[in-house]
Structure 1
Amino acid sequence: MAADMPADKKTMPPRPDLLDFHGVSMTHYFTDNWEKIQNFQARPDDILIATYPKAGTTWVSYILDLLYFSQKKPDRQTSNPIYERVPFLEIMIPNHPSGTDLADSLDSSPRLIKTHLPIQMIPKSFWEKKCRVVYVARNAKDNAVSFFHFDRMTYVQPEPGDWNSFLQRFMDGKMVFGSWYDHVTGWWERKQSHPKIHYMFFEDMVEDTGREIDKLSSFLGSNSTAAAKEQIRHLVQFDNMKKNDMANYSSFETMDFKISPFMRKGKVGDWKNHFTVTQNEQFDEDYKKKMKNTTLQFRTVV
């Protein structure tokens, strides 16, 4: 069998198992470097991009990268892939630089750094230095579908199983980075008392990308012109990003694009193509219980 495997598959690490880490489901790829993550030294002008996985992380990372650097460093967009320009703080894959090392090596100002950590696990220096945080949330149904297809195609995630068992795990919070419900509400609650968190919704970005770029610019105090923002809006359209090898993760070797692209659809409402009537009813009932104590509200259609 091994002789028939493509060369790149032979070197793929085995898929990790979920482990309980300080009460949150994680895998060793995000906990092996824990001491360095927790002791990471943020700078006051750092911008942290925080999301639950598959909620629009790369989209917002690319928007921020363009807002800050498209005029100052135009060749930046073609010289390095987005995952090097916006390091993933907690990742630690063998034979790759760790997320903390990549972040420490950035010479840009501001540094753009992404994380999927829930609120209680964020390194304390980001709060001490009063860094700005951009949080993106996506409705649970579409988020679950996107996460499922992502887990199918990337080898640093646990085996997803079939859709039905995956959805049950999602509802139970047995996902890498824990419960979607805890994640989005934890960040939402912190935002209420923390003016430096800008809380965005994937659905709003799909509905009117230009409007959301304007809000983001305002939060960041960016002096981008209307023409520059319009150019950014064009570049970050889903189909343009999907074709952009510097943004679409096509060079990231732990992913198998033959199974599913990293950027799959980028739509609101694709959950309707996956949920059965029964699954939808059970999910809605469970969702009401878990979200009954928050003011946070999502749209599942736009």
Structure 2
Amino acid sequence: PDRKQAAIRMSSDQDKMDAFVRPELVDFNGISMTRVFTSNWENVQNFQARPDDILIATYAKAGTTWVSQILDLLYFGQTERQKTLPIHERVPFLEVYLPPNMSGTEQADNLPTSPRLIKTHLPYQLVPKSFWEQNCRVVYVARNAKDNMVSYYHFNRMSYGQPAPGDWNTFFQNFMEGKMVFGPWYDHVNGWWKKKQTYPKIHYMFYEDMIEDTEREIDKLCSFLGLSPSAEEKKMILGGTQFDNMRKNYMANYSTFPLMDFKISPFMRKGKVGDWKNHFTVAQNEEFDEDYKTKMTDPTLEFRTTI
């Protein structure tokens, strides 16, 4: 019966995808966005944060789901909730709006948990002001631009909620020019890095550090949050957030989310550092590195493209 239900759900999801017109990029407050993230803007901007809310902020495809799952396990453990509610319901996506049944602000308002874990891909200047006013903690995750670009490309191929990516060469140029939903990667990671200097309640994490030593990075995260998990709890969290385990976990791998075609590419594809080498040509790599130097001038913010 489960397999039959899954097949029915997949066919109805396919019907929804076939009927859904991919959104176009529009200029919105100076950055590229789509109607999926702007149609509910008044409610996003008026969202009332609470002092114990934790905002998970990232550029798209930088480790958002990974950190969401870590935080969810840290605070709530492996309860029934983990087995019955998909990650996008446990950690709502604040600005997403896919009527009739998905509004990130409504989902966040209705969360029964304390703290509420809420995710956003917004650049810092578009985050609802109540998060700053309530002095909320923010966990920001950044991923090196080359791997982030590759992951975003494959995501745009499979997600009908995103603009069509075109071929790899087109996407490569558009990424460098910042013609991406949520604007340029460069502005996003730099903006949040600068915000951290004036707003100390931001914990800035690097995807590459997490791949290199997940336990070490979870320890740093716990220190920021004031949590002291037992050795047993830490073991459970490390197991529950390993890439292969999350990839197989229907409640974490986004297979229950509408508008994603897993036949094109899985939502969780490789989870590695350095996959960009399988996509960038030598000429593209040189062009990218030259352009990168002009946009990433802060010597205190450094990324690794290999580990």
User: What TM-score comes out, normalization by structure 1 length?
Assistant: 0.96
Counterpart residue type for residue 148 of structure 2: N
Alpha-carbon contact 1:250-1:257 (below 8 Å) kept: yes
C-alpha separation between the residues in 2 aligned to 1:125 and 1:253?
30
Relative to structure 2, which stretch is displaced further, 103-112 or 219-228? 219-228
Contact 1:210 1:230 (C-alpha < 8 Å) held by counterparts? no
1:133 lines up with 2:138 in the alignment? yes
Partner of 1:176: 181
Tell me if 1:23 matches 2:30.
yes
Residue aligning to 1:62:
69
Matched residue SS, 1:135: strand
Listed as ranges, the matches of 1:187-206 within 5 Å are: 187-206=192-211
- 2:300 is aligned with 1:295: yes
261-270 or 185-194: bigger deviation: 185-194
With 257-266 and 88-97 compared, the bigger mean Cα shift is at 88-97
State the 1:141 CA deviation: 0.0
The answer on 1:285 being equivalent to 2:290 is yes
Equivalent residue in structure 2 for 1:154, among 159, 162, 165: 159
AA at the equivalent of 2:163: P
Asked if 1 retains the 8 angstrom alpha-carbon contact of 2:16 and 2:259, the reply is no
> SS at the partner of 2:236?
helix
Tell me by how many angstroms 1:7 deviates. 5.0
Structure 2 runs not aligned, ≥5 long: 1-10
Structure 1 window deviating more from structure 2 (222-231 vs 238-247): it is 222-231
CA shift for structure 1 position 10: 3.3
Distance 2:275 2:25 in 1: 27
Q: What's the secondary structure of 1:11's corresponding residue?
A: helix
CA distance in 2 between counterparts of 1:293 and 1:136 reads: 18
Cα separation, 1, equivalents of 2:101 and 2:157: 22
In structure 1, the residue matched to 2:7 is: none
TM-fit CA distance, 1:231: 1.5
Which residue matches 1:52?
Answer: 59
The structure 1 segments of at least 4 consecutive aligned residues displaced by more than 2 Å after TM superposition are: 6-12
**Alignment of 1:259 onto 2:280:** no
CA deviations on 1:34-55 (whole Å, 9 max, x unpaired) are 0000000000000000000000
Identity %: 70
Deviations 1:193-229 (A, max 9, x none): 2110000000000000000111111100112112211
8 Å CA contact 1:45, 1:111 repeated in 2: yes
Alignment of 1:82-97 (within 5 A): 82-97=87-102
**Do residues 211 (structure 1) and 216 (structure 2) align?**
yes
The letter for the 2-side match of 1:269 is G
Asked if structure 2 preserves the Cα contact closer than 8 Å seen for 1:46 and 1:110, the reply is: yes
Write the distance in 2 (CA, Å) between the matches of 1:8 and 1:85. Answer: 21
Instruction: Give the corresponding residue for 2:42.
Output: 35
Amino acid at match of 1:250: S
Aligned residues: 295
Work out whether residues 43 and 126 of structure 1, in 8 Å CA contact, stay in contact via their aligned partners in 2.
Answer: yes
Shift of 1:294: 4.9
For the structure 1 residues 110 and 22, does the alpha-carbon distance in structure 2 shift closer, same or farther, using more than 3 Å as the test? Answer: same
Deviations 1:133-178 (A, max 9, x none): 0000000000000000000000000000000110100000000000
Partner of 2:242: 237
CA offsets 1:16-40 (integer angstroms, 9 cap, x no match):
0000000000000000000000000
Partners in 2 of 1:241 and 1:105 — Cα distance?
A: 25
Instruction: Please say if 1:100 is aligned against 2:105.
Output: yes
Q: What amino acid does structure 1 have at the position aligned with 2:87? A: I
2:173 alignment partner AA: Q
Unaligned runs of 5+ in 1: 1-5
Cα distance, 1:100 vs. partner?
A: 0.1
| CA distance in structure 1 between the partners assigned to 2:207 and 2:57 by the alignment | 13
Quote the residue 1:221 is aligned against: 226
- Between the aligned partners of 1:179 and 1:276, the Cα distance in structure 2 is 21
Aligned mates of 1:294, 1:191 — CA distance in 2:
15
| Offset, 1:96 | 1.9
How far the C-alpha of 1:180 sits from its partner, in A, is: 0.1
